[in-house]
Amino acid sequence: MRPSHLNSYFASLMSLKGVGPKIAQAFAKLLRGDVLLEARRIDLLLHMPVGVIDRSLQSDLATAPEGAIVTVKVTIDKHLPPPRNNRRVPYRILAHDETDDLTLTYFHAKGGYLEKQLPVGEMRYISGRLERFNGGPQITHPDHVVSEADFATMPLLEPVYPLTAGLSGKVLHKAVQASLDDLESLPEWQDQALMDREKWMPFDEALRRVHLPHDLADLEETSPVRKRLAYDECLANQLALALVRSKVKKSAGIARCWEGKLKAKLLAALPFTLTGSQTEAIADIEADLALPERMLRLVQGDVGSGKTMVALMAAADVIESGSQAAMMAPTDLLARQHYQSVKSLCEAVGIRVAVLTGKDTAATRRDTLSALEKGDIDFLLGTHALFQQTVVFADLGLAIVDEQHRFGVHQRLTLSAKGEATDLLVMTATPIPRTLVLTHYGDMDVSLLTEKPAGRKPIDTRTMNLERLPELVQRLAQAIDQGVKCYWVCPLVEESELLDATAAEDRYATLKQVFGNKVELVHGRMTSDEKRSAMEHFKDGDAQILVATTVIEVGVDVPEATIMVIEHAERFGLAQLHQLRGRVGRGDKASSCILLFKGPLGQVARERLNMMRETEDGFRIAEADLRLRGEGDVLGTKQSGLPGFRLTDPEAHKGLMEMARTEGRLIIETNPDLEGIRGAALRDLLYLFSRDEAIRLLKAG
């Protein structure tokens, strides 16, 4: 149960004067993204201003700059209502100060209301945009009109908020002010030394200061006020992750025992030696496996850095210790490809390996499942199909999730829940910037694969106008004669698989006229069997050109392929281009990538293509991608800013997330059940930032 001293924060906005069901709905939409949810005061208070109207310029009429927002003090002289039969003439009110006359103009005004607000002979403070009309100062529809007595209540710095349909700035503003009115002070959850060092104010005061700024600096994202609130958000997030992590780890981990014989056999069978990065990542994993805690590890490595080998070695260790391992890929094609690429190695050393996808025949599936349950399969590869209820492992020791960002957090938890003490290894090729790693995988340890396998040659990347297609085809023909293999990726048309497929089919047809049956085709609308046979024909048969949609984006591995053509490269995002290019340059032969574009190129598209020519460094590319597209897109979430975060800005609040991660872990180490005064305050924090699922974990023990 939420402690009652938080009630003023969680009261419905409906409890405020002037907020009825309709406006409450608009608030719900704006603040919680769903009209059906209840918008509460805390939601509104955490809605940060994006700008400010500065009314602090108080001036006399004669010197007031034209077009500026000013606040003037005037005496009301006369009302000039429009003639009764002509509503188009505005209602005007004349006023003056010592220096000049002022006209206030209202269209479609209610005379009675204005007479009450602006009585003749009285003094008023007026704030609004001042214009000069026929030479004289004029303000049309002033923003504020207040008496001398009420002047103190007029905000001289007025925050401006993001709005939604059905909600005006005025209404929002009033609701914010009313929410601040009876806000309770809360026991501090932040560390006092940190508060002192950063000169931070208490939470409720910080909220007041953001919504009732004292000076312009208060509204900057880098101000102590905003930093404090952002840090609250980071800490709530990292504390919740640390809690989850500690509970998962404590719950039944197994200290696995193995000698390393299987791994040694695999290493001996490999035609290459592992890179230093691979060896280090495997050592990290082995250290985790040997501990009596659950492993939660993320292996992050650019395309082609050899993640599959790392996964295989980890699987070998766990299998030698007597348990099973499973590896989940995001698509059927990838699952089968993983299977193909590890099958002969596994069989050579006696690992019993199988594949399970949604597209297996009923009979195959039944056989696989029964073998799995009996423990006759050591290593199972597959897709989402792996975490269906009917899939029962004899003893799943290690769950490996490849290309993680395609799966949700709950999916990776579901897979690891298939075994009592399943260790979890997640692999991603997306070079996710540090801040995002922390927000999404803050509960995981990270191993980085920074090296590429030895002997890789740089990929010669060029851009070429689509108009020169015939020339390209001619040159490709020469390369094909010399036995080269080539991917040809077709344009992404909208978000439609059907249109993608058509584009690919068209290109396939034209290339077929030149290259005959040396061309193969794969796209998302083909059946699994069709895809597989096309891939096999390309990988091991005599097909040399594979026309494809972005189904080949992730993970496809044909080391002999050395040319990548990307048609309409200007339509792809930078991360996607990088992923695609990573399909070549995997062997020791020189490779090239041709980015076919259709001009004229926009600014962003040109920068993207230039970046591709300039570097193969996934981290540099990811950073440029962030800059060009906004952070959300890197994870495919299409929002800007940190997904799920409202107060934290990756630029302005650099470093806060790391600080919060360290602190979150420290708190959980020293006070795992969040007890005592600080513990209770930290629970408040989790409630305020809607991280209370974590509190439920505390109770479950």
What is the per-residue burial (b if ≥16 Cβ within 10 Å, else e) of 582-607?
A: bbbbbbeeebbbbbbbeeebeeebee
Size of residue set near Mg ion by CB under 5 A: 2
Amino acid at 487: Y
List the single partner that 305 binds among ligand ADP, Mg ion, none, CB under 5 to 8 Å by kind.
ligand ADP
C-beta closer to ligand ADP: residue 254 or 282:
282
C-beta closer to ligand ADP: residue 328 or 605:
328
Q: Which residue is nearest to Mg ion (CB)?
A: 555
d(CA 298, CA 440) in angstroms, rounded, equals 11
What residues does 139 pair with on adjacent strands? 104, 130
Angle between helical axes of 332-349 and 528-539 (0-180°, round to 10): 60
d(CA 634, CA 80) in angstroms, rounded, equals 59
What residues does 158 pair with on adjacent strands? 53
Nearest Cα residue to 40 out of 1, 2, 18, 7: 7
x/- letters, 304..323, toward Mg ion (CB under 5 A): ---x----------------
Among 305, 321, 323, 550, binds ligand ADP (CB under 6 A): 305
Residue 278 in contact with ligand ADP, rule: CB under 6 A: yes
Amino acid at 294: R
d(CA 167, CA 127) in angstroms, rounded, equals 22
* Interface segment toward ligand ADP; rule CB under 6 A; list 8-16, 178-186, 269-277, 542-550: 269-277
DSSP result, 443-493? TSEEEEE-PPPTTPPPEEEEEEEGGGHHHHHHHHHHHHHTT-EEEEEPPP-
CB of 440 to ligand ADP, least distance (A): 19
Which residues lie closer than 8 Å to 110 by C-beta, 6 or more apart? none
C-beta closer to ligand ADP: residue 236 or 459:
459
Residue 559 in contact with ligand ADP, rule: CB under 6 A: yes
* Number of CB atoms found within 10 A of residue 384's CB: 19
d(CA 567, CA 679) in angstroms, rounded, equals 57
Q: 548 phi and psi, to 5 degrees?
A: -150, 155
Tokens 């805690």, located at residue: 293
Among 191, 557, 607, 623, binds ligand ADP (CB under 6 A): 557
Pairing mode, strands 459-465 and 591-597: parallel
Among 137, 301, 442, 585, binds ligand ADP (CB under 6 A): 301
Residue 280 in contact with ligand ADP, rule: CB under 6 A: no
Q: 306 phi and psi, to 5 degrees?
A: 90, 45
List the single partner that 562 binds among ligand ADP, Mg ion, none, CB under 5 to 8 Å by kind.
none
Among 142, 304, 431, 664, binds ligand ADP (CB under 6 A): 304
C-beta closer to ligand ADP: residue 40 or 539:
539
406, 383 Cβ separation under 8 angstroms: no
Query: What token pair was written down for 453?
Result: 């396998």
Among 128, 555, 585, 664, binds Mg ion (CB under 5 A): 555
Q: Considering only CA atoms, give the Rg of the chain.
A: 32
Residue 272 in contact with ligand ADP, rule: CB under 6 A: yes
DSSP result, 479-526? HHHTT-EEEEEPPP-TT-HHHHHHHHHHHHHHHHHHHGGGEEEE-TTS
Residues 567-586, interacting with ligand ADP (CB under 6 A): 586
Residue 142 in contact with Mg ion, rule: CB under 5 A: no
Among 244, 262, 274, 281, binds ligand ADP (CB under 6 A): 274
Query: What token pair was written down for 254?
Result: 């197994």
339, 350 Cβ separation under 8 angstroms: no
d(CA 492, CA 503) in angstroms, rounded, equals 8
C-beta closer to ligand ADP: residue 327 or 609:
327
* Interface segment toward ligand ADP; rule CB under 6 A; list 88-96, 288-296, 302-310, 485-493: 302-310
C-beta closer to ligand ADP: residue 551 or 682:
551
* Interface segment toward ligand ADP; rule CB under 6 A; list 255-263, 271-279, 348-356, 569-577: 271-279
Q: State how far Cα 694 lies from the chain centre.
A: 21
CB of 555 to ligand ADP, least distance (A): 6
List the single partner that 453 binds among Mg ion, ligand ADP, none, CB under 5 to 8 Å by kind.
ligand ADP
Residue 253 in contact with ligand ADP, rule: CB under 6 A: no
Coil, strand or helix: which one is 275? coil
Residue 330 in contact with ligand ADP, rule: CB under 6 A: no
Among 41, 228, 307, 532, binds ligand ADP (CB under 6 A): 307
CB of 531 to ligand ADP, least distance (A): 18
Among 128, 155, 253, 453, binds ligand ADP (CB under 6 A): 453
* Interface segment toward Mg ion; rule CB under 5 A; list 97-105, 299-307, 319-327, 598-606: 299-307
* Interface segment toward ligand ADP; rule CB under 6 A; list 54-62, 147-155, 298-306, 374-382: 298-306
* Interface segment toward ligand ADP; rule CB under 6 A; list 306-314, 415-423, 492-500, 599-607: 306-314
Among 71, 138, 308, 323, binds ligand ADP (CB under 6 A): 308
x/- letters, 131..170, toward ligand ADP (CB under 6 A): ----------------------------------------
List the single partner that 272 binds among Mg ion, ligand ADP, none, CB under 5 to 8 Å by kind.
ligand ADP
CB of 561 to ligand ADP, least distance (A): 10
Query: What token pair was written down for 432?
Result: 């996710």
Q: 380 phi and psi, to 5 degrees?
A: -110, 125
* Interface segment toward ligand ADP; rule CB under 6 A; list 6-14, 123-131, 240-248, 553-561: 553-561
Query: What token pair was written down for 447?
Result: 């191993």
C-beta closer to ligand ADP: residue 83 or 455:
455
List the single partner that 442 binds among Mg ion, ligand ADP, none, CB under 5 to 8 Å by kind.
none
* Interface segment toward ligand ADP; rule CB under 6 A; list 248-256, 313-321, 407-415, 552-560: 552-560
Torsion of CA 650, 656, 661, 666, to 10 degrees: -170
CB of 383 to ligand ADP, least distance (A): 16
For the chain, the residue count is 701
Give, for 354, the enclosing helix (H) or strand (E).
Answer: strand 353-356
Q: 502 phi and psi, to 5 degrees?
A: -60, -45
Q: 684 phi and psi, to 5 degrees?
A: -55, -45
Interacting residue ranges for Mg ion, rule: CB under 5 A: 307, 555
Interacting residue ranges for ligand ADP, rule: CB under 6 A: 272, 274-275, 278, 301, 303-309, 429, 453, 555, 557, 559, 586
